[in-house]
């Protein structure tokens, strides 16, 4: 669909600047072999917007997907032996525990991350066999938000976010739990569990660009591990610290945080980094603004190219917004420094509606905001092992969705004032000789596909969105809304011999299977 027809279908105006930027930046064209996604089937986990499908993992031996279902308070075990017709095999009942946050499966073991019934207290990692028998339970830190296995199967690792309570009077420390599972899992003792904290970091040895700002919080309390990717050699865990706009490098052997890395900021005043900032202008208007976007990744992944490690991040963004403390305000409610005020930014059709952070906004402490920090960068990025950015998708996500699915743009424009398309889910897969990143957009919906074989020259390949713009989101046929996690299945592990992608969609309560097809690229 071209931009002109997008205009007619959407009922929204597209500014001339947006069109010129989309054409000039040229994100959408590439030649040669490529892949595309096609919907194969869907399993309905539960009702609309009930947390029935958030995190999914796949076991090639049993050909089953394991998915969290907080509506039923179970792990749904779904047979994909016939991927065109997924069927519920059985459920692992977890009603006696707290909130189910994450699940991972490897070597006939299922690891499940569970928050305590009081989420500010320590949580648990439960371990089951793939046929549903409980084998052991280990203590984790507060709010274990993500769990994974190391590639060699010797460790279970969880990111324990340690969020405060709503009035910000109790703020547990963030941590990483490492469970050494060599030997009989049923016989493992508490000594096999190590808790990695951030207590070695002080004001004197932490990068000041790392955002430490929680109410009365120490550095260890303020750092909030969100997601983990473990390198192929099973030696290093990369951990996203979303609210802190940082990554942590963790040695699994030493059980220690080796280094923290500030991710810096995205310059939205540059042509290639434009964004749509208003939900009140009734148009798609991707343009430059005097904003600094905080990357704040949720999901991350890692891969190797020519012996070098690279980290891929889905830059969702996330403010701290509690009844006892909130960092976010709309631009129209800020007292602006004269350098910003003279640009007339505070109207609802300019930046007035955009949510930004008050932290660091007044750099000279004169009571006026002189820098505007927005949440997330509306993109995905690739970083080398020194956390130097080698690629960022710029404004491509908004431009591509505006072009291909204008009625769904930024969740029908409702999230333009917040985090836009909101890239959240991420996985990496190899098809043929090429490596691809699959990025799920939580607000807009759909999955972006990029070829990342050469990290510095990553390029757009495909975008598929199954949401119907003509149905209410609560309609059972409305499509996959809010992809929360993605799993790539290699052709060698796939039940039909073709590479597959599995998506868990939080709001629609669906687990969907997509086939990854090799096709010939054509200019779009």
Strand segments, DSSP code E, in 144-235 are 144-149, 155-160, 175-180, 193-196, 225-230
Q: What is the mean pLDDT of residues 130-152?
A: 98
CB atoms within 10 A of CB 46: 18
Q: What is the mean pLDDT of residues 27-34?
A: 49
- Give the pLDDT confidence score for residue 520 in this predicted structure: 59
- Give the pLDDT confidence score for residue 190 in this predicted structure: 81
Measured CA to CA, the distance from residue 441 to residue 438 in angstroms comes to 10
Q: Look at the alpha carbons of 12, 18, 24, 30 in this order and tell me if their dihedral is positive or negative.
A: negative
Q: Is 391 exposed, middle or buried (0-12, 13-18, 19+ CB in 10 A)?
A: buried
Residue pLDDT, tens place only, 430-443: 999 999 999 999 99
With 90 as the cut, is the pLDDT of residue 78 above it?
A: yes
Backbone angles phi, psi at 86, to 5 degrees: -65, 140
- Give the pLDDT confidence score for residue 189 in this predicted structure: 83
Contact 242, 296 (CB under 8 A): yes
Tracing tokens 């303020």 back to the chain, one arrives at: 222
Tokens of 172: 């547990």
Measured CA to CA, the distance from residue 69 to residue 56 in angstroms comes to 10
What's the pLDDT band for 184 if we cut at 50, 70, 90? very high
With 50 as the cut, is the pLDDT of residue 31 above it?
A: no
Measured CA to CA, the distance from residue 6 to residue 406 in angstroms comes to 6
Q: What is the pTM of this model?
A: 0.94
| Residue 242, SS3 per DSSP | coil
Q: What is the mean pLDDT of residues 209-230?
A: 98
Q: 255 in the Ramachandran plot: left (φ > 0), alpha (ψ -120 to 50) or beta?
A: left
* SS3 assignment for 429-448: EEECCEEEEEEEECCCCCEE
Rounded percentage of the chain residues whose pLDDT exceeds 70? 93
- Give the pLDDT confidence score for residue 16 in this predicted structure: 38
Beta pairing partners, 312:
301, 382
Q: Is 108 exposed, middle or buried (0-12, 13-18, 19+ CB in 10 A)?
A: middle
With 80 as the cut, is the pLDDT of residue 125 above it?
A: yes
CB atoms within 10 A of CB 131: 13
With 60 as the cut, is the pLDDT of residue 490 above it?
A: yes
* Arithmetic mean of pLDDT over the chain: 93
CATH architecture of 3-318+376-520: 7 Propeller (2.130)
- Give the pLDDT confidence score for residue 408 in this predicted structure: 97
With 50 as the cut, is the pLDDT of residue 9 above it?
A: no
Measured CA to CA, the distance from residue 331 to residue 358 in angstroms comes to 10
Measured CA to CA, the distance from residue 410 to residue 351 in angstroms comes to 16
- Give the pLDDT confidence score for residue 34 in this predicted structure: 85
Backbone angles phi, psi at 521, to 5 degrees: -70, 135
Closest alpha carbon to 391 in 346, 343, 437: 437
Closest alpha carbon to 121 in 171, 72, 184: 171
Instruction: Supply the angle between the helices 396-404 and 3-10 in degrees, to the nearest 10.
Output: 70
CB atoms within 10 A of CB 343: 13
Half-sphere exposure of 299 (CA within 13 A, CB side): 26
CB atoms within 10 A of CB 42: 20
Backbone angles phi, psi at 69, to 5 degrees: -140, 95
With 60 as the cut, is the pLDDT of residue 5 above it?
A: no
- Give the pLDDT confidence score for residue 25 in this predicted structure: 34
Rounded percentage of the chain residues whose pLDDT exceeds 90? 91
Measured CA to CA, the distance from residue 402 to residue 414 in angstroms comes to 14
**Can you give the residue ranges of every domain in the chain?**
3-318+376-520
- Give the pLDDT confidence score for residue 486 in this predicted structure: 98
Residue pLDDT, tens place only, 315-373: 999 999 999 999 999 999 999 999 999 999 999 999 999 999 999 999 999 999 999 99
C-alpha R_g of the chain: 22
What's the pLDDT band for 191 if we cut at 50, 70, 90? confident
- Give the pLDDT confidence score for residue 519 in this predicted structure: 75
Tokens of 464: 């598929």
Cα 434–chain centre separation? 22
Q: 470 in the Ramachandran plot: left (φ > 0), alpha (ψ -120 to 50) or beta?
A: alpha
What's the pLDDT band for 21 if we cut at 50, 70, 90? very low
* SS3 assignment for 136-168: EEEEEEECEEEEEECCCCCEEEEEECCCCCCCC
Closest alpha carbon to 252 in 303, 299, 305, 182: 182
Beta pairing partners, 250:
237, 257
- Measured at the alpha carbon of residue 359, what is the angle toward residues 354 and 362, in degrees to the nearest 5? 90
- Give the pLDDT confidence score for residue 7 in this predicted structure: 31
With 80 as the cut, is the pLDDT of residue 522 above it?
A: no
- Give the pLDDT confidence score for residue 314 in this predicted structure: 98
Tokens of 348: 């609802």
- Give Cβ neighbours of residue 23 (< 8 Å, ≥ 6 apart): none
- Give the pLDDT confidence score for residue 523 in this predicted structure: 46
């Amino acid at each position: 669909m071209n931009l002109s027809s997008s205009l007619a279908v959407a009922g929204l105006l597209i500014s001339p600047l947006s069109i010129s930027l989309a054409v000039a930046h040229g994100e959408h064209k590439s030649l040669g072999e490529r892949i595309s996604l096609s919907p194969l089937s869907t399993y309905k986990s539960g009702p609309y917007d009930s947390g029935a499908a958030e995190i999914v993992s796949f076991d090639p031996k049993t050909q089953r997907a394991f998915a969290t279902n907080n509506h039923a308070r179970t792990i749904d075990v779904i047979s994909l032996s016939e991927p065109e017709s997924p069927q519920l095999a059985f459920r692992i009942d977890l009603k006696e525990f707290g909130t189910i946050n994450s699940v991972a499966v490897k070597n006939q073991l299922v690891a499940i991350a569970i928050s305590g019934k009081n989420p500010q207290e320590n949580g648990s990692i439960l371990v089951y066999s793939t046929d549903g028998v409980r084998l052991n339970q280990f203590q984790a830190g507060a709010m274990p938000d993500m769990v994974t296995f190391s590639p060699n199967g010797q460790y279970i690792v969880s990111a324990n976010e340690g969020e405060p309570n709503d009035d910000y009077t109790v703020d547990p420390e963030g941590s990483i739990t490492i469970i050494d599972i060599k030997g009989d899992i049923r016989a493992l003792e508490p000594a096999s569990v190590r808790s990695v904290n951030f207590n070695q970091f002080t004001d004197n040895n932490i990068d000041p660009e790392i955002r430490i700002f929680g109410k009365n919080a120490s550095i260890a309390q303020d750092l909030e591990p969100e997601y983990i990717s473990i390198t192929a050699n099973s030696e290093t865990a990369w951990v996203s610290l979303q609210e802190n706009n940082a990554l942590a490098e963790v040695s699994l052997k030493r059980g220690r945080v080796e280094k923290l890395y500030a991710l810096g900021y995205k310059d939205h005043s540059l042509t290639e980094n434009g964004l749509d900032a208003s939900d009140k202008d009734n148009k798609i208007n991707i343009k430059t603004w005097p904003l600094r976007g905080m990357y704040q990744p949720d999901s991350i992944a890692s891969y190797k190219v020519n012996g070098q490690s690279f980290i891929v991040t889905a830059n969702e963004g996330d403010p701290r917004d509690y009844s006892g403390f909130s960092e976010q305000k709309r631009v129209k409610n800020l007292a602006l420094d004269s350098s910003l005020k003279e640009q007339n930014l505070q109207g609802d059709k300019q930046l007035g509606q955009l949510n930004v952070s008050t932290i660091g906004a007044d750099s000279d402490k004169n009571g006026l905001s002189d820098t505007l920090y927005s949440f997330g960068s509306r993109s995905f990025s690739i970083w080398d092992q020194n956390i130097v950015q080698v690629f960022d998708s710029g404004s491509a996500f908004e431009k591509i969705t505006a072009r291909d699915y204008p009625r769904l743009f930024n969740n029908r424009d409702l999230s333009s004032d917040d985090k836009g398309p909101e890239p959240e889910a991420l996985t990496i897969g190899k098809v043929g000789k090429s490596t691809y990143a699959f990025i799920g957009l939580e607000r807009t919906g759909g999955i972006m596909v990029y070829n990342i074989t050469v990290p510095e020259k990553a390029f757009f390949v495909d975008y598929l969105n199954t949401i119907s713009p003509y149905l209410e989101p609560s309609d059972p046929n409305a499509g996959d809304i809010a992809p929360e996690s993605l799993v790539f299945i290699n052709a060698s592990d796939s039940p039909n011999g073709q590479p597959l992608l599995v998506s868990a969609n939080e709001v629609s309560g669906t687990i969907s299977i997509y086939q990854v097809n090799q096709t010939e690229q054509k200019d779009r």
